[in-house]
């Protein structure tokens, strides 16, 4: 799909041999996109040997990943947790919101958590294509 985004100015998606949509990438995202994905990476701090250890630990040790998931769900009602790995938490927010509102809500989260990285992405073309592919009606075979 990256090749399509880089080399095409319009895109057609066909399902079961039928053209289902045609338009620019942004038009398809606006019309068929379902929200956005968000990755929040909690900051880590280095523990020196004088502090009784070595390595890294989350800065806000008292805030667990489950607490972050709950706080994200409180701010974004239609959120689905995609997964978490170490200190990175991935979410899909199905609700279409203005970018300004999304970043205001992330700023609210930053009052309780320290993030080293925040990544928010619009629905990509592959996600739109997969949504069409999974919703297709497969004709019954006789």
The answer on 13 and 46 residing in a single domain is no
The answer on 116 and 47 residing in a single domain is yes
The answer on 57 and 42 residing in a single domain is yes
The answer on 20 and 53 residing in a single domain is no
Q: What percent of the chain has pLDDT over 90?
A: 30
Residue 56 has a pLDDT of 59
Indicate the number of domains in the chain: 2
The answer on 91 and 71 residing in a single domain is yes
β-strand pairing of 115-122 with 36-42: antiparallel
Domain that holds residue 7: 1-34+123-142
Q: Tokens at residue 96, please?
A: 């279409």
Give the model confidence (pLDDT) of 75-107 as tens digits. 998 899 998 888 899 999 988 889 999 999 999
Q: Which residue has the higher pLDDT, 142 or 58?
A: 58
Among 82, 71, 62, CA closest to 110? 71
The answer on 109 and 40 residing in a single domain is yes
- Report how far residue 45's alpha carbon sits from residue 60's, in angstroms, rounded to the nearest whole number: 9
User: Span 57-80, mean pLDDT?
Assistant: 78
pLDDT of 142 higher than 50: no
Residue 17 has a pLDDT of 83
The answer on 54 and 26 residing in a single domain is no
pTM for this model (two decimals): 0.67
- Report how far residue 55's alpha carbon sits from residue 103's, in angstroms, rounded to the nearest whole number: 31
Angle at alpha carbon of residue 52, lines to 47 and 53, rounded to 5°: 50
Q: Which stretches of the chain are DSSP H helices?
A: 2-7, 25-32, 65-75, 99-109, 125-135
Per the prediction, the chain carries an average pLDDT of: 81
Angle at alpha carbon of residue 117, lines to 111 and 122, rounded to 5°: 100
Q: Give the domain CATH number at 58.
A: 3.30.70
Residue 81 has a pLDDT of 92
């Amino acid at each position: 799909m990256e090749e399509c985004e880089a080399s095409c100015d319009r895109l057609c998606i066909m399902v079961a041999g039928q053209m289902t949509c045609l338009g620019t990438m942004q038009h398809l995202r606006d019309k068929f996109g379902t929200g956005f994905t968000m990755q929040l990476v909690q900051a880590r701090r280095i523990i020196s040997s004088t502090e009784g250890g070595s390595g890294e630990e989350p800065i806000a040790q008292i805030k667990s990943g489950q607490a972050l998931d709950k706080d994200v769900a409180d701010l974004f009602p239609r959120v689905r947790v995609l997964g978490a790995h170490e200190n990175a938490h991935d979410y899909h927010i199905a609700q279409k919101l203005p970018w300004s509102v999304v970043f205001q809500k992330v700023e609210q989260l930053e009052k309780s958590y320290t993030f080293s990285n925040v990544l928010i992405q619009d629905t990509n073309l592959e996600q739109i294509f997969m949504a069409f592919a999974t919703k297709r009606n497969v004709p019954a075979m006789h």
